[in-house]
Amino acid sequence: MHDLPRKKVIVIGAGFAGLAASASLAQAGYSVTLLEKNEVAGGRARVFHALGFTFDMGPSWYWMPDVFEQFFQKFGKTTADYYQLQRLDPSYQVLYGPQDAMELPAGMTQLEALFESLEPGSAEKLRAFLKQAAYKYEVGINNLVYKPSRSFSEFIDIKLLVDVLRLDVFQSMHKHVRKYFKHPRLIQLMEFPILFLGALPQNTPALYSLMNYADMALGTWYPMGGMHKIVEGLVALALEQGVKMKLGEEVESLEMQKGSITRVVTTKGQYDADVVIGGSDYHHLETKLLPEEYRSYTDKYWDSRVMAPSSLIFYLGLDKKLKGLRHHNLFFDEDFGPHAHEIYTQPAWPKKPLFYVSVPSQTDSSVAPEGKENLFVLIPVAPDLQDTPEVREHYYKMVIERLEKITGQEVRNHVLYKRTYAHQDFMKDYHAFKGNAYGLANTLLQTAVLKPSLKSKKVKNLFYTGQLTVPGPGVPPSLISGQVVASEVIKDFAPQETTLTL
């Protein structure tokens, strides 16, 4: 037996989706080269070190542990082979004002007691809500999100159509939550995952109550050493499968022939290609790297997309430990209900933003020097805003003042290290469309087949993966996206041309 050379797959972008696609295709027998413009793999989940602090740059929530576990199991591995998980208890806390905080316990009995203390009868309603959400999670995560969504015909199945009706695809989260709960704080709790994933509850299908199941039933976890440990695990796995990884190589152009990409040209070299997967920013690859006649979508199409928020982030290293904070902290000290629309619908900086503070050094002593604190402060803001140093400083002062007031301690004068990150940085580091942080919002008209397709409509051997295509934004969806696109490549392009018998 003599095998012809393996098909060459070039994957652009070493984020979660690109890493998952690369490892999956290498395992299937392809020759895979992964190109990454930055010097560190991970995309938005990169890491940096300063003054003894280790800062995760992007994702900080570890939800849906089963998605990660199932991925590694496909390679005969477990997550424990690469990183150690710890469940957080409390999962997180919400701060409403001075001496007014609510912790979300990891245990279901304690969680039901908390709900009951705010709204009599709500414990039973929570059980009913989560039972339905568990069904959505089972069907949504194990069936719908693993579909490539290349055609509506994928969803023409009697059982699936019945499931879709039971999944509340045509009802909003806003209405769905209010059928169960009346207390404003309980409503806020149930809607917060939607707000942070990038849309208003009014515009988000109630299908996404599956996020509440992920949050409350499956739990909030943390990989010791930081979120980048997941990336390190994915990189190690990809290398074990034989992926060739090229860091610090930005793609400059794509050479075309007869409707296919034949070569990918970078700042450091060029690579012949049988298949190309864009795990970088979809819009950038389409509009900056492809000749116009090969683009699937127009500028008008992209400008009409509803984007998830961008973020203004502060990475802070403090010279002391803080009291009153947990690993994850949501600051709802302003009545964000009336102001939430500013983040998602108004092309302006919000007047009274909610914000989020992650303090991983509360859980993990390795991310900060002894006696010091590591803070990740995030303000969700609209994409495509004028991002200036003056604006960043204005919001820094605002959130630090609120942090000091609510927790009753001095913070600003204890900052040893400070770095800011916003729209301009997202565009520079990731070519992020409109400086977005999370991709497309999960609206009904941007779900499944209605998202930008994972397969180019005009280039025979070009596929896409990541947060601007199916299934959507977030770390677990990106990990799924990489697996889905790998399956589609395998369907359309066998790993070898043929096998000759000599």
What single DSSP character describes residue 198?
T
Nearest CA to 99 out of 411, 356, 402, 406 is that of 406
pLDDT given at position 2 = 47
CB-based contact 356:330 (threshold 8 Å) = yes
What are the structure tokens assigned to 230, written together?
């997941």
CA atoms within 13 A on the CB side of 99: 0
CA distance 199 to 171: 14
CA distance 267 to 179: 55
Give pLDDT tens digits for 426-455: 999 999 999 999 999 888 888 889 999 999
Give pLDDT tens digits for 352-388: 888 999 999 999 999 999 999 999 999 999 999 999 9
How many residues does this entry show for the chain?
502
Phi/psi of residue 77, each to 5°?
Answer: -120, 175
- CA dist 165 → 154, 171, 398, 470, 493 (Å): 16, 10, 44, 20, 35
Measure CA 500 to chain center. Answer: 44
Q: How confident is the model at residue 501 (pLDDT cuts 50, 70, 90)?
A: very low
What are the structure tokens assigned to 357, written together?
């503070």
CA distance 261 to 490: 17
Q: Collapsing DSSP states into helix, strand and coil, what is residue 101?
A: strand
Residue 163 clears pLDDT 70, i.e. is over it: no
CB-based contact 99:407 (threshold 8 Å) = no
CA distance 140 to 211: 11
CB-based contact 209:128 (threshold 8 Å) = no
CB-based contact 93:330 (threshold 8 Å) = yes
pLDDT given at position 202 = 87
CB-based contact 317:343 (threshold 8 Å) = no
Domains in the chain (CATH in brackets) are 2-84+225-304+440-500 (3.50.50.60), 110-218 (no CATH), 306-430 (3.30.519)
Residue 497 clears pLDDT 50, i.e. is over it: yes
Residue 1 clears pLDDT 70, i.e. is over it: no
What are the structure tokens assigned to 418, written together?
């400070």
Higher pLDDT pick, 240 / 337: 240
CA distance 25 to 284: 24
Q: How confident is the model at residue 145 (pLDDT cuts 50, 70, 90)?
A: confident
Q: How confident is the model at residue 309 (pLDDT cuts 50, 70, 90)?
A: confident
pLDDT given at position 207 = 84
pLDDT given at position 502 = 37
Rg (alpha carbons) of the chain, rounded to whole number: 23
Higher pLDDT pick, 128 / 156: 128
pLDDT given at position 200 = 78
Give pLDDT tens digits for 252-278: 999 999 999 999 999 999 999 999 999
Phi/psi of residue 150, each to 5°?
Answer: -90, -15
- CA dist 335 → 96, 192, 262, 494 (Å): 9, 13, 54, 55
Higher pLDDT pick, 446 / 153: 446
What are the structure tokens assigned to 200, written together?
């208003």
What is the mean predicted confidence (pLDDT) over 283-302? 97
What is the mean predicted confidence (pLDDT) over 25-37? 98
